[in-house]
Amino acid sequence: MNPFGFQFAAILLLLLNTVMVLETQAANVKPQRITCYKRYSKCYLKYITCPSECPQIRPKDPYAKECFLDCYSPKCEAVCRKRKPNCDGPGAACYDPRFIGGDGIVFYFHGKKDEHFSLISDVTVQINARFIGLRPAGRTRDFTWIQALGLMFGSHNFTLEATKAENWNQEVDHLKCTYDGMSFRVPIGHSSVWSSPDRNLELERTSATNSVRVTIQEIVEISANVVPVTEKEDAIHSYGIPKNDSFAHLEVQFRFFDLSPKVEGILGRTYQPSFKNSAKAGVDMAVVGGDNKYKTSSLLSADCNSCSVFTPGKMVAGRALPMDFGSLDCTGGNGIVCKK
Ligand SMILES: *[C@@H]1O[C@H](CO)[C@@H](O)[C@H](O)[C@H]1NC(C)=O
Ligand SMILES: *[C@@H]1O[C@H](CO)[C@@H](O)[C@H](O)[C@H]1NC(C)=O
């Protein structure tokens, strides 16, 4: 055998070996079982085995799909789902901001930079967004992105913010959070979890940095990434992003559990049962104006003209339910921090 042939054979063997090792690893993961602790759920205390394609509820691999059981669905079935926001799915707010309504229809909202707007205003929850942006010379309106979210529910408040980054580096975390006015840090690292002292709110990292999922019991689940405006996007849209600011912002997807038919807000109104989108699906992209309706005075206030729905202090009928921290190692203190 010539030396080249030998090398080739060795590499082939190595590759084969790797494939075999990977396969055995996948086969070795025993599917976990998952259940719902909500009494009104179809799956209440029924233990469902996860699909073999996504055997774990909180997979260690940031690219793996998770096993998910929708406790609010009429079907009791565990499925695989991505852990990051899907910018093309309902309840998404990404890019400069492009929304996907509860009805699945795409629309844009022309906000203003350095102002706050109500995304959701409902009986039990108010969700505002802070817009950042810029206006290149000669343009009549701002280009904007969502930099922060402010939530009020019951007597609590929560904020999630993308911090400023001159030059973007994915290894550096650009998330800042507060709960009831106190800032808290979630340890860097995939699957690290923070839970509020009353356990109403849980925040889990879905990759080592810059991705989280926030769950507020009975109300909403938010998947979010912090991302910069990329050079490519800048070139396509001629935003004119300056060299010293990456315009770090949020891309988010909401999943609501209990909206009322009166829900308001830029995104909220698309969840009204009677809502008729003025845009025909796939034909035209509606641009929503109406900043006079949705503008709020700060990240945590419900004073927009169409915000009258939110009642501070009002909690949902169900009480806070215990969460399943599985094999996580939790320490107390100001909030509970868990690490795998
Ligand atoms: C957020 O909650 C804390 C604790 O209840 C409260 O002191 C603070 O005023 C709230 N912040 C806003 C802006 O409502
Ligand atoms: C970028 O530079 C401009 C003008 O030179 C300055 O006004 C601005 O504050 C700088 N931004 C950052 C994030 O340093």
Residue 164 CA, closest ligand 2 atom number: 13
State residue 58's pLDDT score: 86
State residue 21's pLDDT score: 43
Number of helices (H), then strands (E), belonging to the chain: the values are 3, 22
Q: Is 315 in the pocket of ligand 1 (CB under 6 A)?
A: no
- Give the range of the structural domain holding residue 56, as residue numbers without chain letter: 31-81
pLDDT tens digits, the chain, 340 residues: what are they?
Answer: 455 555 655 554 554 454 444 444 455 688 999 999 888 888 999 999 999 999 999 888 878 899 999 888 888 999 999 889 999 999 999 999 999 999 888 899 988 999 999 999 999 999 999 999 999 888 888 999 999 999 999 999 999 999 999 999 999 999 999 999 999 989 888 778 999 998 899 999 998 899 999 999 889 999 999 999 999 999 999 999 999 999 999 999 999 988 999 999 999 999 999 887 665 555 456 677 777 899 999 999 999 998 888 988 766 544 333 333 333 344 443 344 444 3
Within 10 angstroms of residue 157's Cβ, the number of other Cβ atoms is 17
120 plus 267 within the same structural domain: yes
Please tell me the pTM assigned to this model. 0.81
Residue 244 sits at φ, ψ, to 5 deg, of -100, 20
115 plus 182 within the same structural domain: yes
Give bridge partners of residue 99 from the DSSP assignment. Answer: 93, 107
Which ligand has the minimum distance to the alpha carbon of residue 244?
2
Q: Is 245 in the pocket of ligand 2 (CB under 6 A)?
A: yes
State residue 282's pLDDT score: 52
Mutate to test the pocket of ligand 1, among 152, 157, 182 (most ligand atoms within 8 A of CB): 157
- Count Cβ atoms within 10 A of the Cβ of residue 96 and give its class: 0-12 exposed, 13-18 middle, 19 or more buried: buried
Residue 244 CA, closest ligand 2 atom number: 1
- Boundary of a domain, candidates 81, 113, 141: 81
What is the rounded radius of gyration, in angstroms, for the C-alpha atoms of the chain? 22
Residue 242 CA, closest ligand 2 atom number: 1
Instruction: Report the number of distinct structural domains present in the chain.
Output: 2
65 plus 104 within the same structural domain: no
